[in-house]
Amino acid sequence: MQADFNGDGYADLAIGVPGEGLGSSLPSAGAVNVIYGSSDGLDADGNQLWTQDTPGVEGIAEANDNFGTTLAAGDFNDDGYADLAIGVPHEGIGDTYRAGAVNVLYGSPSGLKPLGSQLWSQNISGIADHAEFNDKFGASLTTGDFDDDGYVDLAIGVPYEDINGRVDAGAVHVIYGSSSGLAAANDQFWHQGVPGVTGTLESDDRFGSALAAGDFDDDGKSDLAVGVPLEDISEIVDAGLVHVLYGTNSGLGVTGDQTWHQNSNGIQGVAEAFDEFGAALAVGDFDDDGRDDLAVGVPYDDVDSAQDAGAVNVIFGGANGLDSANDQLLNQAVAGIEGVAESFDQFGMTLASGDFDGDGHGDLAIGVPGEDLSDESTIILDAGAVNVVYGANSGVSTKDNRLFSLDTSGIGGAAAKFDGFGSALTTGDFDGDERVDLAIGVPYEDVEGEADAGAVHVIYGSGSGLKAKGDQVWHQDSPGIEGVADQHDHFGATVR
């Protein structure tokens, strides 16, 4: 579901500000801004600023917690209002440094509220395992209804979890929704050592670094894709892999568990050292056949002689789940794709999906945060860009694709070195016109002389797709927005 926290039919936008300081004694405690949708798009009226110092929010704001590093939305109690999960992966649990936690705020007719807020960690009764140093519980998040009971469930990545002596092997928790919200009962703890899960438990795999949920077999139950970007394929170091666990009436199960990598039969590309296949994931029905498809970021894939130019594989859903037939490989060297594959572009570092032109096919936004731009004779390093490719009956098409950057006519602002335009992406119908809009995080944007304060651009959908005209620029110095743009806030480091 889209992130409609007040149930008015317009998507709302949550923006992570993990570098936000709360006074001089609490640097990088973190915050989340929430801007609400309207018939005119996102509007500053009624916007909110949340921290762990907000009355009613569980936990205590501490230096370097980085509240807001990750975000996910879903209706956990099925009351018609989206709720917000906020990752705090550097939260200390007792004396356990960077064990990690997740705050949950619940929606209402007036938007997100502190009443009933929750704080989850691996030291909560009923949650499997226990909090350990540097687990980073909450480093990734996604939502889906894995048991098809009408309540959305929350998957939480713990990519630095040690399992049976394997350091940073990684794990994923799944906490299930109920009429009273997320509940510890039936919590699941997934990793590569679980019986029936394909793969070998190894150190430094970081299972759970990326997560995405979708119904790949169209059985009404959400399935979970789990990125394992540092998985070795045979002896190919950090080539990367994606696990897929399928939903059942009792939640996620091991039946039909799949693993995908670039050496899987039918998958385009070749697994190479340090590719990190699975570093980013997104779900959309790109061919409009009723089954969700999976886009997999491979941001360090070499393209010809361009080191770390990056690529994206698109694996399509089928009657039995994801199927390698018709797999597509996208990069900036593919005919028709805007831009040029260059070293360190990192095409595919971030991904998001939505129907930007309202034709029924999911479309795909691809972050290229390392893209260099040129200003006459000057190269603007790592200014960043976003490629947008549109869905068609045959899958993702290069026809009419776009490349957006801060140098695109109609996009507010000007490109500068190391802005990282496209470092975060999300989608939602913020103006309720039945065409999805794209929010783009620019967390290293300078604002009024404040280095790396950060900003977010919102590009709106239309009958012909995303249009630069009408682009909105949001930051903490925007009129009416709570907070103040300060150095290294990284507003827009994540968006949902």
Domains and CATH numbers, the chain: 1-162+169-176 (2.130.10.130)
* Contact (CB, 8 A) for 315 and 296: yes
| Partners of residue 101 on adjacent β-strands | 88
State the DSSP string of 281-343.
Answer: EEEE-TT-SSS-EEEEEETT--BTTBTT-BEEEEEE--TTS-EEEEEEEE-TTSTT-SS---T
**For the chain, what is the radius of gyration of the CA atoms?**
21
Q: Give the Cα-Cα-Cα angle 382, 383, 385 (nearest 5 degrees).
A: 105
* Residue corresponding to tokens 């909105």: 472
What does the DSSP 8-state code read for residue 200? -
Q: Which residues of 466-476 are buried (b: 16+ CB within 10 A; e: fewer)?
A: bbeeebbbbbb
User: Which are the contacts of 382, defined by CB distance < 8 A and separation ≥ 6?
Assistant: 344, 369, 370, 371, 372, 417, 418, 419, 420
* pLDDT tens, per residue, the chain with 496 residues: 689 999 999 999 999 999 999 988 999 999 999 999 999 999 999 999 999 999 999 999 999 999 999 999 999 999 999 999 999 999 999 999 999 999 999 999 999 999 999 999 999 999 999 999 999 999 999 999 999 999 999 999 999 999 999 999 999 999 999 999 999 999 999 999 999 999 899 999 999 999 999 999 999 999 999 999 999 999 999 999 999 999 999 999 999 999 999 999 999 999 999 999 999 999 999 999 999 999 999 999 999 999 999 999 999 999 999 999 999 999 999 999 999 999 999 999 999 999 999 999 999 999 999 999 987 778 999 999 999 999 999 999 999 999 999 999 999 999 999 999 999 999 999 999 999 999 999 999 999 999 999 999 999 999 999 999 999 999 999 999 999 999 999 999 999 9
- The span from the CA of 293 to the CA of 328, in Å, is 11
300 alpha carbon, distance to own chain's centre: 18
Tell me how crowded residue 355 is: count the other CB atoms within 10 A of its CB. 23
